Structures are given as structure tokens and as C-alpha cells.
């Protein structure tokens, strides 16, 4: 077991382990530590504790000192200088016409290095830009290309849920997220619904993924299809109450509702015929003869119309 303390250099940044020594450190205190980039100003994120040796990566460097008021003032001065450096770098990028998007500028605590973070679709030849920036700031210049998720983490913003982005508020590392997680959770596969501000799949898809596996019954797709084919087709309640009704078109693929409507039309037609009984045989023939006799009546001054043969 090794006694360590966790230090974070950015809000929601990655936590690095250092040797606390005999310093009385508490969570939220600011400390000065030595890193591969030089002296850095960080915040205690994890109080001193014991961890396994395999959790410590590389050499465990000690905490130099607890930050003093002078260190705090120096850090505020570095933040002011970073804003000016960001503006100057934007002007140089426009002057060179480079296809890159500047995201952040950061001074190390001792001012020995100035780091610019940017995004770009491909590789960018920024050698001349580095020379111009070094001539202006008289310090070491580092240009670092980052991804779209790191860009969202640095810039921050409000997500579709109405809350501050997880990556800029509390997520220290980016866990892999796949489209399979959205399918398992029965979510819409519309990219605009499951993508964050960075354009990638939302990190929150991973939060509940571990609960869907145990909660889902272990039934294969073949079993579901077999069960669906074995179940009889549903019959409406109206048809179940009339067992004598025959569905004539059921075997031909017609729906039960259409057959029911056809049966209602047939019964309605029978009621109309019962209300108006059919005339007796021959009644219609005698009526037509009387109408025909009146129709053969001749007008004055005209010869009579010829009647049927044999009349």
C-alpha cells in the first residue's frame, strides 16, 4: 500500500497522484507540485489515503508546498496573461490562414511554457506560427491538437437536459460509448436525439447501461418469433358474442372488422325488404297495361297509333 493524495489541475480534470509527505492536506486546498511540464498550481481533490501500488503510474512525486497568498496572486496574473495570449494567437492564425480552431491558451505556473490547444480536421503545418508566437512571448510555445470531446470539456455549455455538460462539471475521464447502448435502452436512433454538443454520442448513455442487462429476460429472438406464430389471431369482442356469425372472408385475408360491417349491411337490407313486402304476381303487368292503354290515346286530328299485332 502507498499513501497518496489526489490533485486536479482543471475543473473536472483528471486526478493525479502525488506523495503528500507530512503536510496536513485537506480537500479543496491549493498546492504547488512538480510535473513533467514544470511547477504547477493544483487543487486537492482526494485527501491523503492508501492505494494499491499498481494504481500508481510512474514515479510518485512529492507535494512541494501548500499554496501561499502570493502563489494565488501569481495564478490570477497568469489567467489574465492567458486571455491576452489567446487574442494574439488568433490574430497570428488569421494572418497565416491556417485551418485550425483555437480553443484555449494556458501558462504553466512558473511561466516557463505557454500551451495552446486547438482543433482541426486534419494535420496542420504550424511551424511558422510557433516561431512567430515565440518571438512575441519570449517563452517556450507548445501547440496541442485535441478532439471534439476535449473541446467541449474546455469550453463547457448546457446540454439537451438543461444541465451543465457532464464532461465540464464532474467527468474526469471519457468512457467509450457505443450505439449498442442506445439500442439496448430502446432509445431513438436519431443522431440529433442521442448526440451531445460535441457531435459524439452522449456520455450519459453509459450511466444506466449496467442495469439493462440483468433486468432484461434471457429470451432469444427465435423464441419470441416462435411464440408470436403459435398465438392465435385475436378476435374482436363483438364477434365472440355472436358465435353463429360466419366470417366469409377470413380465409381470404380480409379483416374481421370488414366482415362484421358487411354482415351488418346484409341484416339492414333484410329489414328494409320486410317493411315493404314484394307485390303479388301479375300486379305489375296489369299496371303496365293500363299505363300503356292511356299512352296509346291519339290526339285530335291524328290517326290512331298502330297497336300490337293481333289486337
Contact 103, 115 (CB under 8 A): no
For residue 107, is pLDDT > 60?
A: yes
pLDDT tens digit string along 18-67?
Answer: 988 888 899 999 999 988 878 899 999 999 988 888 888 878 888 999 99
pLDDT value at position 216?
66
31, containing H or E segment: strand 30-35
Q: Is the pLDDT of residue 142 over 60?
A: yes
pLDDT in tens, 171-221: 888 889 999 898 888 888 888 889 999 989 999 999 888 887 666 665 555
For residue 143, what pLDDT is reported? 93
What's the whole-number mean pLDDT along residues 250-261? 42
Mean of pLDDT values over 222-240: 54
Stated pTM of the model: 0.62
Any idea what DSSP says for residue 296?
A: T
Distances, alpha carbon 128 to alpha carbons 119, 155, 304, in Å: 18, 27, 122
Q: Average pLDDT in the 208-236 region?
A: 63
CA–CA distance, 262 with 242 (Å, rounded to integer): 15
* Cell (9 digits) for 309: 299485332
Topology of the domain covering 74-146 = GMP Synthetase; Chain A, domain 3 (3.30.300)
Share of residues in the chain with pLDDT > 70 (%) = 68
Q: How far is CA 138 from CA 39, 93, 100, 307, in A?
A: 18, 18, 23, 130
Distance CA 239, CA 233 (A): 13
The answer to whether residue 238 scores a pLDDT higher than 90 is no
Contact at 8 Å (CB) between 30 and 7? no
Cell matching residue 85: 495570449
Cα 278 to chain center, whole Å? 71
Q: Is 30 left (phi over 0), alpha (psi -120 to 50) or beta?
A: beta
* 133-137, 189-193, 240-244, 307-311: range with highest mean pLDDT: 133-137
Confidence class for position 80, pLDDT limits 50, 70, 90? very high
Q: How confident is the model at residue 224 (pLDDT cuts 50, 70, 90)?
A: low
pLDDT of residue 10: 86
Please indicate whether residue 104 or residue 221 has the higher confidence score (pLDDT).
104
Q: Where in the chain is the domain with CATH 3.30.300?
A: 74-146
What integer best gives the mean pLDDT of the chain? 77
Instruction: Please report which confidence band the pLDDT of residue 165 belongs to, taking 50, 70 and 90 as the band edges.
Output: very high
Across 284-310, average pLDDT: 48
Amino acid at each position: 500500500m502507498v499513501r497518496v493524495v489526489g490533485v486536479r489541475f482543471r475543473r473536472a480534470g483528471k486526478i493525479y497522484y502525488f506523495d503528500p509527505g507530512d503536510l496536513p492536506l485537506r480537500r479543496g486546498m491549493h498546492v504547488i507540485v512538480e510535473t513533467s511540464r514544470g511547477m504547477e498550481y493544483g487543487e486537492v481533490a482526494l485527501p491523503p489515503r492508501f492505494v494499491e501500488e499498481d494504481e500508481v503510474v510512474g514515479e510518485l512525486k512529492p507535494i512541494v508546498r501548500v499554496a501561499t497568498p502570493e502563489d494565488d496572486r501569481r495564478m490570477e496574473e497568469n489567467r489574465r496573461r492567458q486571455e491576452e495570449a489567446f487574442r494574439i494567437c488568433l490574430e497570428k492564425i488569421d494572418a497565416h490562414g491556417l485551418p485550425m480552431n483555437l480553443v484555449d491558451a494556458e501558462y504553466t505556473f512558473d511561466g516557463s511554457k505557454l500551451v495552446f490547444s486547438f482543433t482541426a480536421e486534419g494535420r496542420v503545418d504550424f511551424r511558422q506560427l510557433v516561431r512567430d508566437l515565440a518571438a512575441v512571448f519570449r517563452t517556450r510555445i507548445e501547440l496541442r491538437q485535441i478532439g471534439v470531446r476535449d473541446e467541449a470539456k474546455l469550453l463547457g455549455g448546457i446540454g439537451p437536459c438543461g444541465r451543465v455538460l457532464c464532461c465540464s462539471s464532474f467527468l474526469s475521464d471519457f468512457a467509450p460509448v457505443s450505439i449498442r447502448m442506445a439500442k439496448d435502452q430502446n432509445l431513438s436512433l436519431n443522431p440529433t436525439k442521442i448526440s451531445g454538443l460535441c457531435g459524439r454520442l452522449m456520455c450519459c448513455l453509459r450511466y444506466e447501461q449496467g442495469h439493462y442487462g440483468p433486468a432484461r429476460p434471457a429470451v432469444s429472438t427465435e423464441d419470441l418469433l416462435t411464440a408470436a406464430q403459435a398465438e392465435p389471431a385475436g378476435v374482436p369482442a363483438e364477434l365472440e358474442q355472436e358465435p353463429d356469425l360466419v366470417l366469409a372472408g377470413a380465409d381470404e385475408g380480409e379483416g374481421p372488422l370488414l366482415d362484421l360491417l358487411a354482415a351488418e349491411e346484409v341484416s339492414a337490407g333484410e329489414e328494409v325488404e320486410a317493411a315493404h313486402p314484394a307485390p303479388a304476381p301479375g300486379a305489375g303487368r296489369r299496371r303496365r297495361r293500363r299505363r300503356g292503354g292511356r299512352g296509346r290515346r291519339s290526339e285530335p286530328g291524328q290517326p290512331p297509333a298502330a297497336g300490337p299485332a293481333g289486337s
